[in-house]
Amino acid sequence: MENLDQFRLATRAWLEEHCPPSQRQPMTPDQQYWGGRGVDFPSDDARLWFERMRDRGWIVPEWPREFGGGGNSTREGKIIKEEMKRINARNPIVSIGIWMLGPALLEYGSQAQKQQHIRAIINGDIRWCQGYSEPGSGSDLASVQMKAEDMGDHYLVNGSKIWTTSADKADWIFCLVRTDPKVKKQLGISFLLIDMDTPGIRVTPISLISGDSEFCQTFFDNVKVPKNNLVGELNSGWSIAKALLVHERKLMAEMGSDTPRAVVAPNVAAREYLEFADGKIADPWLRAELTDYDMNMHAIGLTHFRTFEEHQAGVQSAAPLVMKYVGTEAEKVKSELLLAIMGTQGLGWEGEGFSDEELDTLRLWAMSKAMTIAGGTSEIQLNVIAKNVLGLPQS
Amino acid sequence: MALVVNEEQILLQDTARDFLATRAPVQALRELRDTRDALGYSVDLWQSMAELGWASIILPEAYGGLNFGFTGLGLVLEETGRTLTASPLFSTAVVGASLILLGGSNAQKEALLPDLAAGKLTLALALEESHHHKPTNISTRAVAQGKDYLISGRKTFVLDGHSADKLCVVARTGGESDDSPQGISLFLVDRTATGITVQRTLLADNRNSANIEFNNVLVTSDDIIGEFDSAWPILEAVLDRARIAISAEMMGCALEAFERTTEYLKERVQFDVHIGSFQALQHRAAHMQSEIELCRSVLLQALSTVDDAPEQLPLIASLAKAKMNELVKLVTNEAVQMHGGMGVTDELDIGFFLKRARVSMQIYGDTGYHMDRYASLCGY
């Protein structure tokens, strides 16, 4: 414990000295650095901050030193995150490679794949996107149709992927591909890494109910992929995908409650948009809806603390399994509530007559509908709880 | 680590579960009901509970207590919620013990707490005067007569009011109106004192409560608990402890009804398959599990707040009671529905959970009361 306390103090001192003041402000989307081939930093300070963190191994403290990580323990990694949060330090890079692919490569990848990709992820040289869903696959992720045929010295890939976030900006994509069409669908899937510069790949962006989006559809037409880009064993991609999904749901549950957002909290908006009488919101329905939301978020916040304490104590419970469901459903409630509180001022699509905050609120309201669909719909989450927590019989 | 129970607490809970499963299962409540038992609980059982130390879990060792903390008491109450056990545990070991602990003089503590700890003294709080919880709305009056006081008024929904040895009466001694936290005093009086008329009420849950009339009941200044005319802070703190404690009991009630229901979903066959394989039922069960997880976190936080941060009690107590009210309503309704025709028979115990849930939802504040209080504490 004493060592960890010392580590915390040293971390605090280092961050205090090396994190530029401009990198301690909340980030707007255009101030985020995502990395990638030939991509410039949004500012000189962002570059300086990234390079300092990279040189210290703190882009991903828990990853091995030989690939550019910090070689820190989980507890040290947590201390670094806490100390960054304490001074509101920005993440020096926002990266699907760090969140999603890296952990899978470290567990399932070959030594050569780790050498090639992990440091490139940490250094921000390569930006990754994810190719899981396909048009028509919906919640049935294992129904992968995009095929990769063994052509001796390479795989020939044909098909398409949808909801490939930022595929138009990504350098590489990690995909689930069908490598055996004859067996049970989960057993014939492989996990393949593909360079987006390979001939035969075409990307088109998707417009959503919230307007322009980062989502794309990505088409693969006779794309030749080297055989050493296969991660893990042939036809064992489903277990890698499942491990990544658990990870993704955890991230989404955290985003559902933790991430600072551009929009205000409903109880703050209430002060601006609602009439008060005797210190209470005059509209009884809105007051009750707001109270219900705040109480639910209070309970969700306590449950986040509980899962953390349980993790520390090595105690298992069902709490982590319900968080994606409750977190994203609460996010939708929040958006509906903000719209109701703002009334007609919450309906602006763009242009004059509305504040930026009001316009953002409407767009995020539309976006919030995706939160209970992406990363496993709420219905899929309930299926998982019914099966894994309650042990209910499967049909 | 307030949100994870420790080994000692788990041991206490396991002991309670084993004890109650053999000594006071739901069947015991059914028998009390069917025999129209005059007392409404088993004295032998209460003595055994006291011997296990349950009457004194939160009391200091100096008064014969276990000094085990409020979380421990909550875990035992959760188990009594699973078995729907009728006993003076809530009225005496939570409400009565807290009243004397927080409001009593040293002389009162020395006179009352050792007996309470030994299970020889039971208490009841005579608070409510209308069919909704309004703790500042008190028109029962204590009027000075020389050095003494005469109490007159009507109380309702007095839990254990027909059986408790002593009643703690909330009476108005001042204040600008009958609905004011100012001018409230607490008096301790024997249930059998002259001028007291007790009418036992039979409620849906077959547990124990009474309407009580006070007609010029004589009390002395020695009988005052807490500060004369200014007892509201003590009363509010006691009520918040009581709300959290009853929430713990309600958690047990919800968990037991839920577990019996999911077991039934795994056994019951319709159309040649187990009904638990139907997605329509799976999703409702999984939703309930999610709500249970949220309520579990709130409850653990609330229980530990009693001991660790009493100044934060009002907000967390209202959160706990409001959340648990809605949980126990949802779960018991679904439990009946998912049991189908059997769910509405008296033969199955599920109805007992449904009925207890409705009574406990009214104890020291329904959902509307606690949502309003939570909103006010949040400044809106």
* B282 with A322: Cβ contact below 8 A: no
Please tell me if residue A390 touches chain B, with a CB cutoff of 8 Å. yes
Q: Which residues of chain A have a CB within 8 Å of the CB of B293?
A: 303, 317-319, 322, 326
Residue in B250, B254, B248, B242 with CA at minimum distance from that of residue B133: B242
Tell me whether residue B1 is in a domain.
no
Same domain, B325 and B205: no
Tell me whether residue B91 is in a domain.
yes
**A257 pLDDT more than 50:** no
* A319 with B323: Cβ contact below 8 A: no
pLDDT of residue A141: 85
**A254 pLDDT more than 70:** no
Question: Count of domains in chain B?
Answer: 3
Beta bridge partners of B137: B179
Please tell me if residue B373 touches chain A, with a CB cutoff of 8 Å. no
Average pLDDT, chain B: 97
Please tell me if residue B130 touches chain A, with a CB cutoff of 8 Å. no
HSE-up (13 A, CA, CB side) for residue B64 = 20
Cβ atoms of B69 and B307 within 8 Å: the answer is: yes
Q: What is the CATH number of the domain that holds B342?
A: 1.20.140.10
**What tokens appear for A182 in the block?**
């004859």
pLDDT of residue A329: 97
* B371 with A291: Cβ contact below 8 A: yes
Which residues span the domain enclosing B133?
124-231
Average pLDDT, chain A: 92
Q: Which residues of chain B have a CB within 8 Å of the CB of A393?
A: 265-266, 273-274, 276-277
Residue of A267, A306, A324, A328 for testing the chain B interface, max B β-carbons within 10 Å: A306
Contacts of A311 (CB under 8 A, 6+ apart): none
Please tell me if residue A342 touches chain B, with a CB cutoff of 8 Å. no
Question: A2-94, superfamily in CATH?
Answer: Acyl-CoA dehydrogenase/oxidase, N-terminal domain (1.10.540.10)
Please tell me if residue B314 touches chain A, with a CB cutoff of 8 Å. no
Domain boundary among B179, B199, B231: B231
pLDDT of residue B349: 97
Higher-pLDDT residue of B295 and A242 is B295
CA of B16 vs chain A CAs: smallest distance (Å): 21
**A261 pLDDT more than 50:** no
Higher-pLDDT residue of A257 and A277 is A277
At residue A155, what is the residue type?
A: Y
Tell me the C-alpha to C-alpha distance, in Å, between residue B77 and each of A47, B67, B250, B330, B347: 58, 16, 9, 20, 25
The residues of chain A that CATH labels 1.10.540.10 are 2-94
Q: Which of A281, A306, A318 is opposite residue B3, by nearest beta carbon?
A: A306
Domain boundary among B121, B142, B158: B121
* B285 with A390: Cβ contact below 8 A: yes
* A276 with B380: Cβ contact below 8 A: yes
pLDDT of residue A253: 67
**A259 pLDDT more than 70:** no
Cα Dmax for chain A: 78
**What tokens appear for A380 in the block?**
């899929």
The residues of chain A that CATH labels 1.20.140.10 are 256-389
pLDDT of residue A247: 75
Convert the pLDDT of each residue in A181-199 to its tens digit: 999 999 999 999 999 999 9
Convert the pLDDT of each residue in A113-164 to its tens digit: 999 999 999 999 999 999 999 998 888 889 999 999 999 999 999 999 999 9
Which chain A residue shows the shortest CA-CA distance from B268?
A: A393
* B294 with A392: Cβ contact below 8 A: no
Same domain, B334 and B351: yes
Per CATH, the number for A256-389 is: 1.20.140.10
* pLDDT more than 70, % of chain A: 97
Using a 10 angstrom Cβ sphere, with 0-12 exposed, 13-18 middle and 19 or more buried, the burial of residue A29 is: exposed
Convert the pLDDT of each residue in A371-380 to its tens digit: 999 888 999 9
Please tell me if residue A193 touches chain B, with a CB cutoff of 8 Å. no
Tell me whether residue B222 is in a domain.
yes
Please tell me if residue A313 touches chain B, with a CB cutoff of 8 Å. yes
CA R_g for chain B: 21
Convert the pLDDT of each residue in A312-363 to its tens digit: 899 999 999 999 999 999 999 999 999 999 999 999 999 999 999 999 999 9
Query: Mapped to the 3 state alphabet, what secondary structure does B276-295 carry?
Result: HHCHHHHHHHHHHHHHHHHH
Q: CA torsion sign, B123 to B128 to B132 to B133?
A: negative
Instruction: Estimate to the nearest angstrom the gap between the alpha carbon of A263 and the chain centroid.
Output: 19
Please tell me if residue B277 touches chain A, with a CB cutoff of 8 Å. yes
Pairing of strands B273-274, B269-270: antiparallel
Chains A & B: contacts with CB separation below 8 Å: 129
Q: Which residues of chain B have a CB within 8 Å of the CB of A390?
A: 262, 282, 285-286, 289
Write out the DSSP string of A194-211.
EETTSTTEEEEEEEETTE
Same domain, B145 and B226: yes
Same domain, B132 and B210: yes
* Residue A2: band (very low, low, confident or very high) from pLDDT cuts 50, 70, 90: low
**Reported ipTM:** 0.95
Q: Helix A74-86 crosses helix A2-18 at what angle (to 10 degrees)?
A: 40
Which chain B residue shows the shortest CA-CA distance from A308?
A: B3
Tell me the C-alpha to C-alpha distance, in Å, between residue B5 and each of B10, B13, B49, B54: 7, 10, 22, 18
* Residue A107: band (very low, low, confident or very high) from pLDDT cuts 50, 70, 90: very high
Domain boundary among B201, B231, B261: B231
CA of B98 vs chain A CAs: smallest distance (Å): 26
* A303 with B294: Cβ contact below 8 A: yes
Same domain, B167 and B290: no
Q: CA torsion sign, A347 to A352 to A355 to A359?
A: positive
Residue in A128, A198, A196, A130 with CA at minimum distance from that of residue A162: A130
Convert the pLDDT of each residue in B87-133 to its tens digit: 999 999 999 999 999 999 999 999 999 999 999 999 999 999 999 99
Residue of B297, B299, B326 for testing the chain A interface, max A β-carbons within 10 Å: B297
Please tell me if residue A377 touches chain B, with a CB cutoff of 8 Å. no
* A303 with B289: Cβ contact below 8 A: no
Please tell me if residue A322 touches chain B, with a CB cutoff of 8 Å. yes
Give CA–CA dist B129/B146, Å, rounded: 27
Tell me the CA end-to-end span of chain B in Å, nearest whole number: 31
* Residue A245: band (very low, low, confident or very high) from pLDDT cuts 50, 70, 90: confident
Average pLDDT, integer, range A18-32? 89
Tell me whether residue B266 is in a domain.
yes
* B371 with A292: Cβ contact below 8 A: yes
Q: Which of A290, A303, A394 is opposite residue B380, by nearest beta carbon?
A: A290
Give CA–CA dist A267/A169, Å, rounded: 37
Same domain, B272 and B333: yes
Please tell me if residue A56 touches chain B, with a CB cutoff of 8 Å. no
Q: Helix B367-377 crosses helix A284-313 at what angle (to 10 degrees)?
A: 80
Task: Specify the residue for token string 């908006």.
Answer: A269
Contacts of B367 (CB under 8 A, 6+ apart): B322, B325, B326, B361
Which chain A residue shows the shortest CA-CA distance from B4?
A: A310
Please tell me if residue B3 touches chain A, with a CB cutoff of 8 Å. yes
> What count of residues does chain B have?
380
Interface of A with B in 240-269 (CB under 8 A): 267
Cβ atoms of B170 and B229 within 8 Å: the answer is: no
* B289 with A389: Cβ contact below 8 A: yes
* A392 with B322: Cβ contact below 8 A: no
- A10-16 long-range contacts (CB < 8 A, ≥24 apart) are A11/A79, A11/A80, A11/A83, A12/A83, A12/A86, A14/A56, A15/A83, A15/A84, A15/A87, A15/A89, A16/A87
Average pLDDT, integer, range B250-259? 98
Same domain, B113 and B180: no
Same domain, B267 and B344: yes
Same domain, B113 and B142: no
Q: Which residues of chain A have a CB within 8 Å of the CB of B376?
A: 279-280
Same domain, B142 and B248: no
pLDDT of residue B77: 98
CA of A394 vs chain B CAs: smallest distance (Å): 5
CATH architecture, domain defined by A128-236: Beta Barrel (2.40)
Please tell me if residue A386 touches chain B, with a CB cutoff of 8 Å. yes
Convert the pLDDT of each residue in B191-240 to its tens digit: 999 999 999 999 999 999 999 999 999 999 999 999 999 999 999 999 99
pLDDT of residue B287: 98
* Residue A28: band (very low, low, confident or very high) from pLDDT cuts 50, 70, 90: confident
Tell me whether residue B2 is in a domain.
no
Same domain, B112 and B130: no
Q: Which residues of chain A have a CB within 8 Å of the CB of B10?
A: none
Convert the pLDDT of each residue in B319-354 to its tens digit: 999 999 999 999 999 999 999 999 999 999 999 999
Q: What angle do CA B218, B222, B228 make, to 5 degrees?
A: 90
Give CA–CA dist B88/A24, Å, rounded: 57
